[in-house]
Structure 1
Amino acid sequence: MFHGVRTVMIFADDPEASARWWGGLLDAPVRLDVADTGAVYAWIETAGVELGFHPADDARNPRGGSPVVYWGVDDLDRARARLLAAGCEHHRGPLEIAPGRRIAQLRDPFGTVVGIEGP
């Protein structure tokens, strides 16, 4: 019935800037659509997952209403260091949640909390 994650929607004050930051970090091209209202919708695809960047709207898509998505990584410490160097801020962790399995959360420059999970 369920398959792997296909799309993660991120609600941002500046969807294009957020998509360009993530696209640069993940070496993924950014695609844009501009609505008649001038609102920008942006997305990238990486590792078989589409990251969509949608304008934040407190009435329909309140901040903090999105789940934290965890990226699987080969080396948690190295991935965390790369994210911090790219402009993320520490949010929580690293935490060992099971033997050989750790997680950490960081906040990107646009306020989105993202998780990483790995050894």
Structure 2
Amino acid sequence: MIFARDPETSCRWYTEHVLRLESTALQVDSGFWFVEVDGVEIGFHPADDERNPFGASVVAYFATGNLSTHREELLAAGARHHRGPLVIDGGRSICQLVDPFGGIFGLDGPP
């Protein structure tokens, strides 16, 4: 679950630029949006300053086949650098980016 000020826009941006899918975003109710990928549901919930403040969620990492290329594409699509890239075990790299809406997410994959 990603808490967002504008769940629809966030869902559509992640679907297109992070997941690289054709738009399959669906609104469930009360401003909640989700996209399902290989049986995994990623939800975009309206931020609630009292219960779930914006930016207080965990950092989700998305697998990618080429971290450097995907990172550059995301930067061109409006994301900003946050941390990394760092080389970790097994020939993998990770990095964190800030989406155009202020939320932090990560990429994980071969450099």
Q: TM-score range by the shorter chain?
A: 0.7 to 0.9
1:33, 1:47 → 2: CA distance?
A: 19
Q: Deviation of residue 76 (structure 1)?
A: 0.9
Residues 5 and 54 in structure 2, CA contact (< 8 A), matched pair in contact too: no
Tell me what 2:28 maps to: 33
Give 1 or 2: higher strand fraction: 1
The answer on 1:97 being equivalent to 2:88 is: yes
Residues 3 and 52 in structure 2, CA contact (< 8 A), matched pair in contact too: yes
Divergent runs of 4+, >6 A: none
What CA deviation, in whole Å up to 9, does each residue of 1:14-59 have, x standing for no partner?
1111112222322241101333xxxx11111124321111000111
> Alignment length, in residue pairs?
107
Match of 1:44 among 27, 35, 55: 35
The answer on 1:16 being equivalent to 2:8 is: yes
1:47, 1:80 → 2: CA distance?
A: 22
Instruction: Provide the TM-score with structure 1 as the length reference.
Output: 0.81
RMSD: 1.5
Percent identity reads: 50
Uncovered stretches (5+) of structure 1, i.e. residues with no partner: 1-8
Uncovered stretches (5+) of structure 2, i.e. residues with no partner: none
SS in 2 for 1:115: strand
The answer on 1:67 being equivalent to 2:67 is: no
More deviation, 107-116/61-70:
61-70
Higher alpha-carbon Rg: 1
SS in 2 for 1:92: strand
2:44, 2:32 → 1: CA distance?
A: 6
TM-aligned CA distance change 1:97 to 1:56, over 3 Å: same
Letter in 2 for 1:83: L
Give 1 or 2: higher helix fraction: 2
Letter in 1 for 2:43: G
